[in-house]
A and B are shown apart, each in its own frame.
Chain A
Amino acid sequence: MALSTSRTLLRSFASLSPFARCSNSTSYGDSLWSSEPRAIFKGGSYFLAQRKLSSTSVLSLGSIEGAFPSLLQEWKLGFPSLSRALYCSTADFKKNELLELQEVEKVLSDVRADNVKVIPVQKHCAWADFMVIATGRSTWHVKNIAQALIYKVKQKQKGAQRLMLPSVEGQEGGKWIVIDSGKVVVHALDEKARDYYSLESLWTTGTSEKEPIQDLEKALVKIRRKNNSKKQAKKSA
């Protein structure tokens, strides 16, 4: 099903190509491939493209056309490409992330978030490169951190045809807000939530250590059982 939709897409794109090529190709191409967190999968971007086709009249296609034939080739080979392969194949044109690490750090220091920790998780996770954890002093502060990051993204994309916003979760609760912008995932928690979930221990120690080691050590130690009986101990004469 995915194959047929992509072929129809290709045909429609080809028909639009002559005048689309003259328009500037940076913003739309980048937004389509690199920064949309939902479009990790090859086909995900196709479906996005399908929806956008209906809404816009002018498409900037320079970067997309370069990527389509390579993906078609991959399909002909018969191997579905993983998300990482997609990133590798589209690495020839510049990738503008929604949020860069330095920008995130700057925004967090502006908002005065406490205890900002950056954890590189390239080795553990295939879906993100950096996890940034920040604490807010109250729910309002946490919401403010999220708002500030989104504002930064909007500022960065000023003047672009369409705004590519990172996905935000937990906005109405205010206890734990996650801002997912592709490579960088920002977690804004309040103090209680940070202690409760302890995300650093998850990502710094490793992926498969679920049981803490201290319990194991305790389990192996022989403890003399407490004698709470009221019976007086028989004294052997």
Chain B
Amino acid sequence: MAATFASKCSRVGRSLWGGLGNNLSGLLSASHETACNHFLSQQRTFIQMRTVLKVVDNSGAKKVMCIQALKGKKGARLGDTIIASVKEAYPNGKVKKGKVVYGVVVRAAMQRGRCDGSEVKFDDNAVVLVDKQGQPIGTRVFGPVPHELRQKKHVKILSLAGHIA
């Protein structure tokens, strides 16, 4: 009898606390969730005019600003070619500051869908400088490069790269 009373009390107590707890945890989880969602699902977009990209080859440039995305109305994505202006360069390099160059985007923060349904995205926007014919100006490419370059006919950059994502 005492046991049953105790159990009843505990059940009630539990339900009360459960209710309160539910409300609190619900509120907390909801706010946390929305904050998390907003933080994690930041929408990344295309590489367009005025986008500053990092240069990942040894051509001499450090930072480059996109002035035109050659294909695509909205902008360039992973594997596309852009026209860019060199904003920052190493002192002795093949390209100097202010030069207008072509570049191939090798890493993009915007996700790119792969044919098997997966998506690939990187932490930064990076570019490899090329000339008009598609020959890379530098001789080595640093950092990971995705497989998409093979489909886009940039096998030269793939062959110069060390790590392929």
Which of B113, B115, B150, B153 gathers most chain A CB within 10 Å? B115
Kindly list chain A residues whose C-beta atoms are within 8 Å of the C-beta of B162. 202, 207-208, 210
Across chains A and B, the number of contacting residue pairs, with CB separation under 8 Å, is 83
CB of A38 within 8 A of CB of B151, answer yes
Q: Is B41 on the interface with A (CB-CB < 8 A)? A: no
Which of A41, A125, A173, A208 gathers most chain B CB within 10 Å? A41
**Closest residue of chain B to A176, judged by CB?**
B135
In the complex, which of the residues B116, B140, B154, B158 contacts A2, with contact meaning CB atoms closer than 8 Å?
B116
| Contacts known (A170-B156, A210-B162); A40 close to B147, Cβ less than 8 A | yes
CB of B159 within 8 A of CB of A131, answer yes
Tell me how many residues of B have a C-beta within 8 Å of chain A: 25
Q: Is B17 on the interface with A (CB-CB < 8 A)? A: no
Q: Is A130 on the interface with B (CB-CB < 8 A)? A: no
| Contacts known (A127-B150, A169-B153, A178-B155); A198 close to B139, Cβ less than 8 A | yes
Kindly list chain A residues whose C-beta atoms are within 8 Å of the C-beta of B139. 196-198
90-136 of chain B: CB within 8 A of chain A:
113-118, 133-135
**Closest residue of chain B to A169, judged by CB?**
B153
CB of B156 within 8 A of CB of A169, answer yes
Q: How far is the CA of A40 from the CA of B116 in the complex (A)?
A: 11
| Contacts known (A2-B116, A40-B147, A167-B153); A172 close to B133, Cβ less than 8 A | yes
Tell me how many residues of A have a C-beta within 8 Å of chain B: 38
**Closest residue of chain A to B154, judged by CB?**
A169
Kindly list chain B residues whose C-beta atoms are within 8 Å of the C-beta of A1. 113, 117
Q: Is A81 on the interface with B (CB-CB < 8 A)? A: yes
Q: Report A's interface with B, CB cutoff 8 A.
A: 1-3, 37-38, 40-44, 46-47, 80-81, 83, 125-127, 131, 167, 169-170, 172-173, 175-176, 178, 180, 185, 187, 196-199, 202, 207-208, 210
Q: How far is the CA of A180 from the CA of B158 in the complex (A)?
A: 11
27 inter-chain pairs at a CB distance below 8 angstroms, sorted by A residue, are A1-B117, A2-B113, A2-B115, A2-B116, A38-B151, A40-B150, A41-B116, A42-B116, A43-B117, A46-B115, A47-B115, A80-B116, A83-B147, A126-B164, A127-B158, A167-B153, A167-B155, A169-B155, A178-B155, A180-B150, A185-B155, A197-B139, A197-B160, A198-B139, A199-B160, A202-B162, A207-B163
Q: How far is the CA of A230 from the CA of B140 in the complex (A)?
A: 44
Q: How far is the CA of A175 from the CA of B114 in the complex (A)?
A: 32
Kindly list chain B residues whose C-beta atoms are within 8 Å of the C-beta of A198. 139
CB of B115 within 8 A of CB of A170, answer no
Task: Quote the shortest CB–CB distance from A38 to chain B (angstroms).
Answer: 5
Kindly list chain B residues whose C-beta atoms are within 8 Å of the C-beta of A81. 116
